[in-house]
Amino acid sequence: MKIAHISDTHLGRRPKQTRPGIINQEIRPIEDDFYSAWIKFVEQIIDTPSNSQPDVILHCGDFFDTPAGYDPSPPPEYARKVAAMTFKQLHDAHIPLVIIDGNHGRYMEYRSSTLSIFPVAFDNIHLYTHYDARDSLRTKKPQFKDFGDLNLRVITHPSIETRALSTIGAEQTYKDWIQIQNRSINPNMINLAMGHGMIENSSLHPDFLKGNYDYIALGDDHKMHKVTNRAWYSGSTELWSFNEFNTEKGYLMVDVEHGKAFPKVTSKKIQSSRKIICENVEVFPQDANSEIIRKVKSVLDSYGLNVRYEYSTAARVKIILKGEKTYGDSFNIGEVESFLRKLALDSNDYNIVEFILDRPAYTEYAHVKDNQGEEIEYVEYLIEDPEKEFKDYVTTTRNEELKKQRLNPDLLAKIFAKVLTHHDDDEDNGPEGCDNN
C-alpha cells in the first residue's frame, strides 16, 4: 500500500513583516506561497501514473492557518477556494483523503471545524475534528475509519489541548483513551495511525507511539524527521517562521506491507522559488547607526538582492544583530530598523518581500576594550570622528530629506561636531548648565 503523508500546510498564512499591498487583488504577500506548496503537492499526486499513485492521503493537521490561539479569524476566502479546487481534483482522481484537526485552523468556541463543509461536498474527504476526539474520549470509544476495499484501518488522534486536561482532572481519562485507541487495531488489516501534537510540549501522549501500528503519521512539528522506525513527522510544506530555517519542506511517500517489519519512507521535497536568507550581523558598542546599516546592506548585497523588486522571486530575509549595543547619541535602534525596513519593503531597490530585523541585547553600559586589549568601563558611546560619522549617518538615513530641504550635509556635520565638542567641554568645566567664562 502506498500512502502520501502530509501536514501543516497552513493555508491562509499571512506573515506580518512583508511588503504592503495585495497581489492580484486576492492575496497578501507570501500567503500564496502556502497555497502554491499545497497545489504542487496535489498536482504531483494527480500527475503520478495511476499504478504509482497513493492509495490514501493522510493530512495530519493544521490544514488552514487560522483560527489559532487567540486569533479567531476564519481562513481567507481564497484559502477556502484553493481547498475546494484541490479537493475536487483528488475526488475526480478517486483518491481518499483523511484529515485531522490540528491546533491551527479550528474554532475554539464553536462545535465545528473550518473543514466541516468539505466532507459534505466531497465523499472522498474524511474529517476527524477536535470535537470528535473529545466525544470519543468521553464515550471511551475508539476513533477510526475503515477502507474495506483497501483492507485498511486508520486510527485518528486530532489535536487535543492536553495541558487543559489537568484543569478538569482528565489526565487518566485521556491516557485510558490512548490505550483504547491502541487496542483498536485489526490484526487482519493494515493499521495506520494519525496524530497531531508533540510529546515535548505534552500535546501528544507518549503511549500513542507504543501502539502496534504499521505506520504512525504525525503532524505539528514543522521539521521533517523520523521518531521511530514506524513513526514520522512529515514537517510543514512551507517556511512558517524563520525558526524552521534550513529544514526540508515537503511530504512523505510511505510504502506499507502488512506483516512487514518496517515501512519504506521516502521524502519528497517541495521547492520554494524564493531565496530564504537568515544571517547574523555582529555589532559593537562603538558602532553608529550608519555603520550598522552599512553592515546589513553589505549582507543583502552579497546575496545579490540589490536589484529591482520582482515579487515572484523576491527573498524572505531575517537579519539577527548579534552582540551588545549601548544606549547613546550615536545609536538608535528604531532609526536603524525604520531605515532598513523602508529600504527593504518600501523601495524597489532591493528584491525582498519579507524583512525581519532581530535587535541586539541592550545594556545601559557596555564593556569595551581599547587597542591594547584593556577593558574600558562605563562607555555610553564612542565617536572617534564626530564630523565624519555624523555626515555618514545623515547622508545614509536622511538623504532624501536633505535634498528636499536643501540642507548641506557638510555644514550640518561641522555644526554637530562643534556642539558635541562644546558639550564635552561643559562636562569637564563644571556642573551641567553652568558657564564659567
Q: Given a cut of 50, is residue 428 above it in pLDDT?
A: no
pLDDT tens string 70-88: 788 999 999 999 999 999 9
Q: Given a cut of 60, is residue 379 above it in pLDDT?
A: no
Distance, in Å, from the CA atom of 99 to the CA atom of 157, rounded to the nearest integer, reads: 10
Give, in degrees to the nearest 5, the angle at Cα 158 between 215 and 231: 20
Confidence at 166, pLDDT banded by 50, 70, 90 = low
pLDDT, mean of residues 164-189: 86
Q: Looking at residue 327, what is its pLDDT?
A: 54
137 compared with 195, residue with greater pLDDT: 195
Q: Looking at residue 26, what is its pLDDT?
A: 86
Q: Given a cut of 80, is residue 157 above it in pLDDT?
A: yes
Averaged pLDDT of the chain? 86
pLDDT tens string 255-265: 999 877 899 99
pTM of the model: 0.81
129, 189, 186: which is closest to 157 by C-alpha? 129
pLDDT, mean of residues 176-186: 96
428 compared with 120, residue with greater pLDDT: 120
Q: Given a cut of 80, is residue 210 above it in pLDDT?
A: yes
Confidence at 360, pLDDT banded by 50, 70, 90 = low
Q: What is the per-residue burial (b if ≥16 Cβ within 10 Å, else e) of 194-220?
A: bbbbeeeeebbbebbbebebbbbbbbb
Q: Given a cut of 50, is residue 344 above it in pLDDT?
A: yes
318, 295, 319: which is closest to 392 by C-alpha? 295
β pairing state of 264-269 and 250-255: antiparallel
pLDDT, mean of residues 43-50: 94
Q: Looking at residue 306, what is its pLDDT?
A: 97
Alpha carbon distances (Å) from 305 to 238, 308, 346, 350, 419: 21, 8, 14, 5, 39
Distance, in Å, from the CA atom of 91 to the CA atom of 32, rounded to the nearest integer, reads: 23
pLDDT tens string 264-286: 999 999 988 899 999 999 988 88
Burial class (CB in 10 A: 0-12, 13-18, 19+), 129: buried
Confidence at 313, pLDDT banded by 50, 70, 90 = very high
pLDDT, mean of residues 246-250: 95
Q: Looking at residue 376, what is its pLDDT?
A: 42
pLDDT, mean of residues 136-152: 95
Least confident window among 14-28, 154-168, 207-221, 330-344: 154-168
Distance, in Å, from the CA atom of 330 to the CA atom of 285, rounded to the nearest integer, reads: 10
Q: Looking at residue 269, what is its pLDDT?
A: 96
Confidence at 404, pLDDT banded by 50, 70, 90 = confident
Q: Looking at residue 267, what is its pLDDT?
A: 97
Q: Given a cut of 70, is residue 11 above it in pLDDT?
A: yes
Q: Given a cut of 60, is residue 5 above it in pLDDT?
A: yes
pLDDT, mean of residues 111-118: 90
Q: Looking at residue 402, what is its pLDDT?
A: 79
Q: Looking at residue 385, what is its pLDDT?
A: 62
275, 277, 267: which is closest to 233 by C-alpha? 267
Cβ atoms 97, 90 nearer than 8 A = yes
Q: Looking at residue 50, what is its pLDDT?
A: 86
Least confident window among 9-18, 38-47, 200-209, 407-416: 407-416
Give, in degrees to the nearest 5, the angle at Cα 324 between 320 and 327: 110
Confidence at 328, pLDDT banded by 50, 70, 90 = low
Least confident window among 202-216, 256-270, 317-331: 317-331
Q: In what order do the strands lie in the sheet with 225-226?
A: 144-147, 152-157, 190-196, 215-219, 231-233, 225-226
Give the domains, in start order, of the chain with CATH numbers.
Answer: 2-269 (3.60.21.10), 276-429 (no CATH)
The percent of residues above 90 in pLDDT, for the chain, comes to 63
- Residue 124 grid coordinates: 472522498
Cβ atoms 406, 366 nearer than 8 A = no
